[in-house]
Amino acid sequence: MLLSDIKKPGKHLIKAINGTGTIRLLEMGLTPGMGIEVIRTAPLGYPIEIKVRGYMLSLREEEATCIELD
């Protein structure tokens, strides 16, 4: 399942990060095996707000489609 498919808040584990936004996501501290928490999604689906390593990130659609979850 991709992060972009998530519509409700909840906790998830990152399985893999693939695609053109990989380096940017790794620089933001997202790594495979890490736990994240989806806080909310915008009414039209993007941005997606997540909590990771104690801080909040807002991800665009292109970024969310690069993150595969368990």
Domains of the chain: 3-69 (2.30.30.90)
- Cβ neighbour number for residue 35 with a 10 Å cutoff: 12
What global pTM score does this model have? 0.88
Which secondary-structure segment (H or E) carries 26?
helix 22-27
Residue-level pLDDT at 22: 85
**Cβ neighbours of residue 3 closer than 8 Å, sequence gap 6 or more:** 12, 36, 38, 48, 50, 59, 64, 65, 67, 68, 69
pLDDT < 50 positions in the chain = none
The whole-number pLDDT of residue 42 equals: 85
